[in-house]
Amino acid sequence: MTEPTPDDKATARAGCTHFLSARGPVTAADFIAALAASPHIGLGLDHYSEGPAIELLETRVAALLGKEAGLWFPKGIIAQQAALLVHASRLNRRTVALHPQSHLAIDEKDALARLAGLVPVRLGRDERHFTVTDLAGVREPLAAVTLELPLRRPGYQALPWDDLQAIAGWAREVGVPLHLDGARLWEVQPWYDRPLADIAAVADTVYVSLYKGLGGLGGCVLAGDRATIDAAKPWRVRYGGDLPMAFPMIVTALDALDTTLPRMGAYYRRACDIAAALRGVAGITLFPDPPQCNSFQVHFAASAARMNQAVLTVARERQCWLFGWFSQGLLPDSAMGEIVVGDATLAWGVDEIAAALIALRDAA
């Protein structure tokens, strides 16, 4: 079966009035209009990562996470390497524990080793978080333990609170810093039903994204104790992350903290409602079920090629855009797509969403 081309997808998507995930279509004009209307527009422009808007953002995020200080970075790949390099230099070690399906392990072109000179040790099985037992089996001194929360690729999996506390306790006991890859920490907080600061307290350093779930233009914040953040700051320059001006990214992040962050609970509840409506429907399986944040996987009993074609069929017939892509599932004739609940999702009724997904199954 022929795969749809990017033009095929763009044409079908352009005719849609409903979008299943995130915010739906956002144009450059939308971003510019939002910037002009922002209550933070009067804060003034920054210059090489210095200025009132950046300072306000760093302070707000650090306070939300219960940390002494925060530092803005244009990319998480820089922020996390900066944190790990600081931890490694203090202990004079190079080995970092991480999950084999984590962003650090598979999405950064081996930057941890090639740029930072750190040695990754992959722990645990692909489909779930590693455990204290996995950590205890490491036979070389660790510079840091990294924990992606939620773990995106195996279904945006959170980690039960007791297990999270156990890993943090192990790290403290052996004197190894724990770094939290919290790119989607905002999204998993409602599942824990605890303040963000309580979750972040398990780790020495925490990175949070400002564009994934929050929907800002880009950037992130690294938070931790003052000495660690001060030590990480030179790495922002060394990695080319000290931009001449970042004002549009900063303003959209501040706006997102005001408007999007308070909706995370509603996104999570809608994800659970969608899962409940589809539970037991033949040919459709959700994972995890129930979801552990606003995002989850949907598995169909059809090939990825058939699903990609079916998306176009449903888009033309129902004017709704359901998935941008499918990947091969675990079984030969199965496919996996992801739903990321956001404002666009809330615009649908749960029954409407279930009916659309069943129509997609039937079209495949």
SS3 71: strand
Whole-number pLDDT of residue 267: 98
- Cα 202 from Cα 182, distance rounded (Å): 12
Model confidence band, residue 3 (pLDDT cutoffs 50, 70, 90): confident
Domains of the chain: 6-26+262-363 (3.90.1150.10), 46-244 (3.40.640.10)
The 8-class DSSP code of residue 289 comes to: S
Look up residue 85 and give its two tokens: 């390099």
Residue with tokens 């899962």: 275
Q: How far is CA 272 from CA 265, 279, 295, in A?
A: 11, 10, 10
Whole-number pLDDT of residue 38: 96
Whole-number pLDDT of residue 198: 98
Mean of the per-residue pLDDT values of the chain:
96
- Contact in structure between 53 and 249 (CB atoms under 8 Å): no
Whole-number pLDDT of residue 303: 95
Residue 121, CA atoms < 13 Å, CB-side half-sphere: 19
- Cα 94 from Cα 192, distance rounded (Å): 32
Element (H, E) at 9: helix 6-14
Whole-number pLDDT of residue 330: 81
Q: Which residues, listed in sequence order, are joined to residue 298 by a DSSP beta bridge? A: 286, 337
Nearest to 108 by CA among 146, 51, 157, 162: 146
Q: What is the mean pLDDT of residues 173-199?
A: 98
Predicted TM-score (pTM) of this structure: 0.96
- Cα 185 from Cα 213, distance rounded (Å): 9
On the 0-12 / 13-18 / 19+ scale of CB atoms within 10 A, 92 is exposed
pLDDT one-digit tens code per residue, 70-82: 999 999 999 999 9
Residue with tokens 């615009």: 347
Nearest to 95 by CA among 78, 79, 117, 118: 118
pLDDT one-digit tens code per residue, 303-350: 999 999 999 999 999 999 999 999 998 888 899 999 999 999 999 999
Whole-number pLDDT of residue 199: 98
